Structure 1
């Protein structure tokens, strides 16, 4: 009891609610999907902005927000690729999200997302860990997900890298393709609706073509044909609107979210050890995921896969919290493979 938050209330688990009947939802009258277009021309722009304006009678549902993109891969001069061009360019895995190095969300002009220019890795890791094989073989493919063959992530040979071959079959010769999927943002992981009159704006910052594409020639680029943002808008009961307006006069609304914080550290070539101090200050993470990628792939290279996580002959890794090793006793296995720990 001493560790309860002052704003929290006591509750019982549903297993002990033995005399209660199922509740009837009366707060939401109806819902609809609104389709939003970019605020400005996006053909050659490095950023794309979309805005969902707030209205007085409805709330926005950020958990049900989908990004739609229609595009094609073209030559450096913007012309369509033909068989005579001998181009093998295609998207890297999870192409919908690899094309944006940063996605920012703001509510009424206040940015609520972290700016680290590492959005593609967050999206990839969350999809890789949170979806099972059945999902990856079905609906994730509309986001251009098809895993690269293990051990051949950097290979441009369709016979070796089957995932790249699958994506190439859908993008070759400037074929138009469509992708659609949710955004990997903290605000999209909450189950609470945004209050009425709150304007939600999403800013997409494009990655370099050398990052999102793999190609032998290394000159192709991505051409956007259409961009849409689908947002679910919920019509709220007038009685609930009035009750919320009265509650706002006493205190602000609360939106608890699980924040994802991404840190980038560069290890110079030739270094055999690296100590990273003060990686997280004040707040301890629930889970730490560490990945190592080649610097050329990180910056964008047509011949390198940015999701080719490698070991780089690592034989020792240790986390410390307030000077104490967590977990204790982790060191070299003698075979270059570290034991996996799902939680700190």
Structure 2
């Protein structure tokens, strides 16, 4: 007997037996293409490099399919190619993930307003994302376009990844690599609304950071970037869909992009230390998850003999994250890497990445590679939805700190801790294409600024309540006016010589005058700034109104039919009934008419030669017909009605009156 395991279980038919359902049809995107964007400024060795990804066009940019392509070569200081090999064997290569690692930091502006600017550790952000979130198969296939090759042991000259990177620059010549832009807006799936001018500014790393070598001796290598350009994927939408999106944006006044925003922090740990207590790394809100790695100060600052991505354990015995009054992990690790006690942080790292207990994702980092292969990276999940990028976490304002303890003293030169954190964020763009990003730290700073400036800006808000002051002190300090100051206060004229209005003068009245004049200047600056913002808003409204008008005219033009030859045929005997001749001519007709010769009939007369296309002739003919039926005949009828009223003739007998 067949039955359901539970009555609430619903019926289902497998896809192989579903003959009535067809795939949906995509009808919104008309065209998709890649546009090549060159550098806006001159290519210099130390940057910055500017790319204008869009330029207020009508297309929609697909940020996730936007790439930056670099062409580079490695030479000595004189610009000559250095041959590898010899005894001892000379080896050098670009560091791993070189297409991303070239960039020290990014900044992005949309319509002149900054929406993104990261720290100087973008190379670590992109490396951690590639090394921790992809398996060896992806690293040695797709990610090789960015110059990423999987290392079994980071920093080892025998690692297959290092040797393959050496092969990239073994021969004399240039190498080309490409990467996506791994920043907030470019990592989400929604297209960027049209009408946005996106400027991306790139700041490069130094040659010492970008080159990894063995047995280089006195050779100082140079990393030369010879070309930079961008590949931008753009969409052309159907006119109806584009208009509906614009109307929806004007109705809601805002479009929102949910983002997962990664942030990188670093701090220095001095040599000969056994602990690094309570280093506050984030001060705004709780991140979704945090990853921590340790490396030598020499590798962090850039050295030819070291890899900047060599994360080591340095005999760490304890690490925990403090936030919201609690610690992660819940109990101390009590690590001993030499004794083999390190499996807990390894499992927590894989759990934070979502690679544990699954058979379809992996980062190809084994337990031994975690201990001594340069992949000692500690992962902590602070949110229960850290791996669900389609959900937001509740905002918890807190300080996040990391505490470290070592079984042995830190080595000479000290260490650097690299911290990677992920945060929820939103990018808002209004109907005037002005972007805004809500941020808790900015709100707090603004509150303090306003609190400190209320006494100087009465226009902004009422004055704050103040504690009572002793009478003796009130006599010594002049009282500021409570009303807004509209004109500078000038001291009354006297017969005494005028004293300079200095803040450090000895006369209290002069001090008061100087302070009030400064307040007036500040108020005027605020008013001028508001007026300037209003003018910019009006300019943008006019610009987008013009774009909407052009789009509207294009849609209407697509629905009409061109005039026929019969409709454009002109008869000379009907053209000159009026003393005024008005002809509407298009630009091609005006240009063609300028080249026609005038024909002289006699001493008094000339023939005017005019070129009229089919559209202009049809317009002229329609204009005459409209004037006859809409103006001449109504004027005649009005005269008839006046005559009928004078002669007391019924309106039905107007024809008799005419006859």
Say yes or no: does 1:46 pair with 2:47.
yes
Structure-2 change in CA distance of 1:206 and 1:22 (3 Å): same
Contact 2:85 / 2:91 at 8 angstroms: preserved in 1? Answer: no
Compute the displacement of 1:330 (Å). Answer: 2.9
* Residues 2-34 of structure 1: CA deviation (Å, up to 9, x unaligned): xxxxxxxxxxxxx9xxx9975433222111100
Partner of 1:107: 110
Query: 2: CA distance between counterparts of 1:180 and 1:47?
Result: 18
Compute the displacement of 1:298 (Å). Answer: 0.8
Contact 1:48 / 1:204 at 8 angstroms: preserved in 2? Answer: yes
Counterpart selection for 2:344 from 323, 326, 339: 339
Partner of 1:92: 95
- Larger CA deviation: 184-193 vs 86-95: 86-95
Query: 1: CA distance between counterparts of 2:329 and 2:239?
Result: 53
| 3-state SS of 2:282 partner | coil
* Residues 216-238 of structure 1: CA deviation (Å, up to 9, x unaligned): 24511112222110010110122
* Map 1:200-211 → 2, pairs under 5 A: 200-211=198-209
Counterpart selection for 1:321 from 296, 312, 323: 323
* Map 1:40-189 → 2, pairs under 5 A: 40-82=41-83, 88-150=91-153, 153-155=154-156, 157=157, 160-189=158-187
Q: TM-score by structure 2 length?
A: 0.46
Contact 1:315 / 1:337 at 8 angstroms: preserved in 2? Answer: no
Larger Rg: 2
Contact 1:43 / 1:223 at 8 angstroms: preserved in 2? Answer: no
Partner of 2:306: 304
Compute the displacement of 1:241 (Å). Answer: 2.1
Say yes or no: does 1:246 pair with 2:247.
yes
Q: TM-score by structure 1 length?
A: 0.86
Compute the displacement of 1:206 (Å). Answer: 0.7
Compute the displacement of 1:290 (Å). Answer: 0.5
Query: 2: CA distance between counterparts of 1:97 and 1:180?
Result: 8
| 3-state SS of 2:196 partner | coil
Contact 1:50 / 1:202 at 8 angstroms: preserved in 2? Answer: yes
Greater helix content: 2
Compute the displacement of 1:277 (Å). Answer: 4.7
Contact 1:106 / 1:200 at 8 angstroms: preserved in 2? Answer: yes
Compute the displacement of 1:240 (Å). Answer: 2.2
| 3-state SS of 2:254 partner | coil
| 3-state SS of 1:231 partner | strand
Say yes or no: does 1:266 pair with 2:264.
no
How many residues are aligned here?
Answer: 323
Query: 1: CA distance between counterparts of 2:90 and 2:199?
Result: 37
Compute the displacement of 1:327 (Å). Answer: 2.9
Query: 2: CA distance between counterparts of 1:190 and 1:107?
Result: 16
Query: 2: CA distance between counterparts of 1:189 and 1:276?
Result: 32
Structure-2 change in CA distance of 1:84 and 1:63 (3 Å): closer
Contact 1:170 / 1:177 at 8 angstroms: preserved in 2? Answer: yes
Say yes or no: does 1:284 pair with 2:286.
yes
Compute the displacement of 1:60 (Å). Answer: 0.8
Query: 2: CA distance between counterparts of 1:180 and 1:111?
Result: 25
Contact 1:57 / 1:236 at 8 angstroms: preserved in 2? Answer: no
Query: 1: CA distance between counterparts of 2:205 and 2:77?
Result: 16
Query: 1: CA distance between counterparts of 2:327 and 2:54?
Result: 48
Contact 1:114 / 1:261 at 8 angstroms: preserved in 2? Answer: no
Compute the displacement of 1:103 (Å). Answer: 2.1
Query: 2: CA distance between counterparts of 1:197 and 1:210?
Result: 41
| 3-state SS of 1:266 partner | strand
| 3-state SS of 2:185 partner | helix
Query: 2: CA distance between counterparts of 1:331 and 1:83?
Result: 45
| 3-state SS of 1:305 partner | coil
Contact 2:32 / 2:234 at 8 angstroms: preserved in 1? Answer: yes
Partner of 2:221: 220
Structure-2 change in CA distance of 1:161 and 1:34 (3 Å): same
Contact 2:84 / 2:170 at 8 angstroms: preserved in 1? Answer: no
Partner of 1:9: none
Contact 1:92 / 1:305 at 8 angstroms: preserved in 2? Answer: yes
Compute the displacement of 1:88 (Å). Answer: 3.0
Query: 2: CA distance between counterparts of 1:186 and 1:308?
Result: 26
Compute the displacement of 1:319 (Å). Answer: 1.4
Query: 1: CA distance between counterparts of 2:155 and 2:57?
Result: 51
* Residues 54-110 of structure 1: CA deviation (Å, up to 9, x unaligned): 344211111111111122111112233357999633111111112111122222222
Q: Provide the aligned C-alpha RMSD in A.
A: 2.5
Contact 2:140 / 2:150 at 8 angstroms: preserved in 1? Answer: no
Contact 1:83 / 1:173 at 8 angstroms: preserved in 2? Answer: no
Partner of 1:6: none
Extract unaligned runs of 5+ from structure 2.
1-11, 13-19, 353-380, 383-659
Contact 2:107 / 2:201 at 8 angstroms: preserved in 1? Answer: yes
Partner of 1:195: 193
Contact 1:96 / 1:143 at 8 angstroms: preserved in 2? Answer: yes
* Residues 108-155 of structure 1: CA deviation (Å, up to 9, x unaligned): 2222224210111111110112222211121211211113341xx334
* Residues 240-280 of structure 1: CA deviation (Å, up to 9, x unaligned): 22222222323211011001011111111122111235433
Runs ≥4 residues deviating over 6 A: 83-86
Query: 2: CA distance between counterparts of 1:84 and 1:91?
Result: 17
- Larger CA deviation: 238-247 vs 94-103: 238-247
Contact 2:54 / 2:61 at 8 angstroms: preserved in 1? Answer: no
